[in-house]
Amino acid sequence: MMKSLPVVFARSPIAAALVAALLVLSGSFARAEDSGSAASPVEEFSKQLEDFQKSVPDLNKTIQDSAGTIDSITDVEKARAEIDKLRESVSTLLGAVSDNGPVSQLGAKALDHIHDKLRTLSQETRFKPEERQYLIGQWRKLQVETESATKELDDARAQFVGLLQILQENEDFIGELLEIRQAEKAIEVIRSLTRDIRDASTQLNKLIGGIKPPGA
């Protein structure tokens, strides 16, 4: 025959204490499980708010930086300055190879020296005819090579002259091309900024969406 529980507990106080302890422990385990599976709405909101607040100063800085960048890349003077810089670079190179520039003068000096040597050797009496012929042959070889090197110099000079002339004769058109390039850069900056603002907006929407009044 089955005995009722109060009767059992009344007869055995130890069993009653064990059951009570089991009930208390099981209750506290259940609470611990709840808090582990999901944060409370307050905690969730705090976390989202914190994330959003952290991202706001970054976004402000990005906006300021982008505005500065766009200001600088839509500056017409900057395009002009770029052409000037380009012209200066070509001019420096042209300076070296111009007819009165240091490199050209070196070539001319080298050729003058070879011509002097050939003239002297042709009148030289210290050597046997075959020795003299050999030396003249060597200097002639050098003459051909030096002339070929100075010819390359002439080509480089012509190229730099052409480049500099293109730069100065098409200055306005090149300026416009540079401005187009800068405008393209501005679009990139705006696109990147738009992406950042959209991300912030999504974050803000999540934050607002997460606010649920009790009982809602």
Partner 1 sequence: MHRALGLLASAIIVGAAIAACRPMGDVGYVEIKTVPAAPLTQTTLYLDSTKLAPIKKGSAILRQRVGTRKLQADGFAGTLAPLCDIVVKKNRITTVTISVLERPPRCQCRYSGTDAATEHACVS
| Residues making contact with partner 1 (CB under 8 A) | 84, 87-88, 90-91, 94-95, 98-102, 157, 161, 164-165, 168
If phi > 0 it is left, if psi is from -120 to 50 it is alpha, else beta; for residue 215 that is left
Task: Specify the amino acid at residue 150.
Answer: T
Q: What is the smallest separation between the CB atom of 107 and partner 1, expressed in angstroms? A: 12
Shortest spacing between CB 146 and partner 1, in angstroms: 15
Identity of the residue, 106 or 136, whose beta carbon is nearer to partner 1 in the bound complex: 106
Place of tokens 């070296």: 96
Q: Which is nearer to partner 1, 106 or 204 (CB)?
A: 106
Let me know: does 55 contact 197? Beta carbons within 8 Å.
Answer: no
* Rounded least distance, CB 193 to partner 1, Å: 37
Among 152, 147, 157, 136, CA closest to 111: 147
Question: Which of residues 165 and 205 has its CB atom nearest to partner 1 in the complex?
Answer: 165
Going by the DSSP 8-state scheme, the letter that residue 3 receives in this structure is P
Beta carbon nearer to partner 1, 165 or 170: 165
* CA–CA gap between residue 94 and residue 130 (Å, rounded): 44
Of 112 and 145, the one with the shorter C-beta distance to partner 1 is 112
Provide, rounded to whole angstroms, the least separation between the CB of residue 48 and partner 1.
59
Question: What's the one-letter identity of residue 113?
Answer: H
Contact between residue 90 and residue 167 where contact means Cβ atoms under 8 Å apart: yes
Distance CA 210, CA 52 (A): 13
CB of 94 to partner 1, least distance (A): 6
